[in-house]
Amino acid sequence: MSKILLHGTEAICEGAIRNGCRAFFGYPITPQNEVPEYMSVNMPKVGGAFVQAESEVAAINMVYGAGGAGVRAMTSSSSPGVSLKQEGISYIACARIPCVIVNIMRAGPGLGGILPAQGDYFQATKGGGHGDYHLLVLAPCSVQEACDLTYLAFDLSDKYRVPAMILADGMIGQLMEPVELPPMRPLSAIPKKDWATDGGYGAERRVLNSLIIKPEELEPHVNELQRTYELIAAQEKRCEEYMTEDAEIVLTAYGTVARICKSAAKQLRKEGIKAGVIRPITLYPFPSEAYAKAAEHAKAFLSVELSLGQMVEDVRLAVNGRRPVAFYGRTGGNVPEEGEIVQAAKSALAKARLPE
Amino acid sequence: MIRILLAGQGGQGVLSVGKMLAEGGLREGKEVSYLPAYGPEMRGGTANCSVVISEEEIASPLCNEPDVLVAMNGPSFHKFTPRVRPGGIVLVNGSLSDCYAGREDVAVYDIPANDLALEAGDMRSANNVILGALCALTHVVTDKSVLNCFNEKFVGRPALIEINRRAFALGKRAIDGQDG
């Protein structure tokens, strides 16, 4: 199939629809309005449901219901809207209902601004709602990946019965790039769910619940969740390593920022400094091994984010004190230029070379 | 690789031209990216977009230091000209802007896009006048790709196709005889 030019938001929708998403619940917020707009046009075409909910809270609870009935369901919002969904997400995680939540991040905190940011890393990867749970978190860096990772998110979410999140910055939402769309997957090719509350008169009763009031029942349930997260960590870590084999300075970033880092790494190499980039594709589980491996020869790491420094904590855990990990970030909707990253990399390297 | 920054007032068709460049590049088998930046308003306000067309995979889609700047009005011209790469090209809509760049190391082409668009038959085709000039200067996409885009964009509206083709041709002609 030939490539077509699509917005990141449209690519997310196509990735979802083509992998069996047949229920979308949303509430408008910039910069992700193109997702519900596209879904409102295209869900009816495939016999799916599109509902513009009365609020973000309603939308996530509709996902809870549809997902529980075994339908591949999705909701989308941007930072403040995703905050509103957190209670629902925690319930969904406890009830072990697969679904996909899209967060096209905007600048915060508070109502913030509408421009690109990555300030929701903690919320997405550490469990933004209450209780012990995690989401599978995928971070696309291109329009193609916005499609492919959304497609993948539905499969992973079903497989582990853990809700998945697409964590993208506002640039992914606006960016237009060529995309090769995957073929439309027939619903009959999607594995059956033997736990779904999808009706069945006289069949064995199925219950999906997030209220487990007896401690002797809740603890094993939470432990089972934990075992699932361990399994996910063992099987689903993904990252891209770019010129890291011989890198003395390893830049690391996710989403579109990683692409600016690649440009910066090329520039640094032109100036004779061996630079590489590690780009986590799964933010949870975090691909720590790539950092541990790079720490064997790198002199320093630099985490570049559209935040005050969030992923850098996971990078430091992964590097585990073996090398210095510096940070460079912009906030408020500003995006660092290649030159700023080159400078930050040079100063990180210079600091690392100073005698103790 | 060529990095093009197109800027103007919302409603001037800056984003449309950017999209057409990306679409044209894609049809010619190149890697392309298109990144718009605009305010919440449909008209008025400022709009700009970064278009990258490349033979290789595009790392950063940003145009902080563009090779080519298209400025559809005065404020955009003065805001973005300082960012253009030394040796780069600036196309300015002379109908709505002066063309004093304040630097010697970029080639400035003064295209009276609004006047030529009126001559073509509709002022709203000023964006495609500039597109004609841009294609004549840089050959970033072929005329054929652009004309195909017009045919698709204005399908069923032959009068509009004709106006925009004329606008495109006038823009191309405006480059002849200018040496920047």
- What does the pLDDT average to over A154-162? 98
Closest CA to A31 of A148, A174, A127, A186: A174
The answer to pTM > 0.90 is: yes
Q: What is the per-residue pLDDT for B45?
A: 78
Which residue stretches of chain A are H helix?
A: 8-18, 34-42, 56-68, 79-95, 121-125, 143-160, 170-174, 215-235, 256-270, 288-294, 311-319, 338-353
Q: What is the per-residue pLDDT for B130?
A: 97
Closest CA to A149 of A136, A135, A160: A136
Nearest to A177 among B33, B60, B62 (CB): B33
Query: From B35, which residue of chain A is nearest by alpha-carbon distance?
Result: A175
pLDDT digits over A13-63, tens only? 999 999 999 999 999 998 999 999 999 999 999 999 999 999 999 999 999
Tally the C-alpha atoms within 13 A of residue B28's C-alpha that lie toward its C-beta.
Answer: 21
- What does the pLDDT average to over A134-143? 98
User: Alpha-carbon distance A261 to A3, whole Å?
Assistant: 26
Q: What is the per-residue pLDDT for B46?
A: 82
Signed CA dihedral, A25, A31, A37, A42: sign only: negative
Query: From A255, which residue of chain B is nearest by alpha-carbon distance?
Result: B60
Which CATH code fits A4-235? 3.40.50.970
Residue B29: Cβ within 10 Å count: 9
Q: Please, which pLDDT band fits residue A89 given cuts at 50, 70 and 90?
A: very high
Residue type, B59: A
The domain of B140 spans: 2-175
- What does the pLDDT average to over A178-202? 94
Answer for the pair A274, A249: CB distance below 8 angstroms, yes or no.
yes
Cross-chain Cβ contact A176/B37 below 8 Å: no
- What does the pLDDT average to over A306-325? 97
User: Alpha-carbon distance A79 to A167, whole Å?
Assistant: 10
User: Alpha-carbon distance A170 to A306, whole Å?
Assistant: 11
User: Alpha-carbon distance A216 to A296, whole Å?
Assistant: 45
- Residues of chain B short of pLDDT 70, as ranges, are 39-43, 177-180
User: What's the number of domains chain B is made of?
Assistant: 1
Cross-chain Cβ contact B34/A5 below 8 Å: yes
Signed CA dihedral, B119, B122, B124, B130: sign only: negative
Average pLDDT, chain A: 96
Cβ-in-10-Å burial (0-12, 13-18, 19+) of A33 comes to middle
pLDDT of A12 over the 80 cut: yes
The domain locations on chain A are 4-235, 241-353
Rg (CA), chain A: 21
Q: Does residue B180 lie within any of the structural domains?
A: no
Q: Looking at the complex, does the CB of residue A335 fall below 8 Å from at least one CB of chain B? A: yes
The ipTM of this complex is 0.89
Chain A residues within 8 A of B141 when measuring between CB atoms: none
pLDDT digits over A1-10, tens only? 589 999 999 9
Closest CA to B25 of B67, B57, B55, B63: B55
Angstroms from A262 CA to nearest CA on chain B: 6
Closest CA to A114 of A30, A55, A197, A33: A30
> Which A residues 274-303 touch B at CB under 8 Å?
none
B173 secondary structure, DSSP code: H
User: Alpha-carbon distance B137 to A289, whole Å?
Assistant: 49
Nearest to A178 among B19, B26, B35 (CB): B26
Contacts of B157 (CB under 8 A, 6+ apart): none
- What does the pLDDT average to over A209-215? 96
Q: How far is CA A62 from the centre of its chain?
A: 21
Closest CA to B162 of B171, B174, B151: B151
Contacts of A269 (CB under 8 A, 6+ apart): A243, A275
CATH number, domain at B30? 3.40.920.10
Q: Under CATH, what is the fold of the domain A241-353?
A: Rossmann fold (3.40.50)
Chain B residues within 8 A of A263 when measuring between CB atoms: 59-60
Q: In Å, what is the CA distance from A150 to each residue of A11, A156, B68?
A: 9, 10, 35
pLDDT of A68 over the 60 cut: yes
Closest CA to A99 of A21, A168, A175: A21
Q: What is the per-residue pLDDT for B37?
A: 85
pLDDT digits over A223-271, tens only? 999 999 999 999 999 999 999 999 999 999 999 999 999 999 999 999 9
Nearest to B60 among A3, A4, A263 (CB): A263
C-beta pairs of A152-157 under 8 Å, 24+ apart in sequence: A153/A15, A153/A100, A154/A16, A154/A19, A154/A20, A154/A21, A154/A72, A154/A98, A154/A100, A155/A19, A156/A232, A156/A236, A157/A98, A157/A99, A157/A100
Residue A203: Cβ within 10 Å count: 8
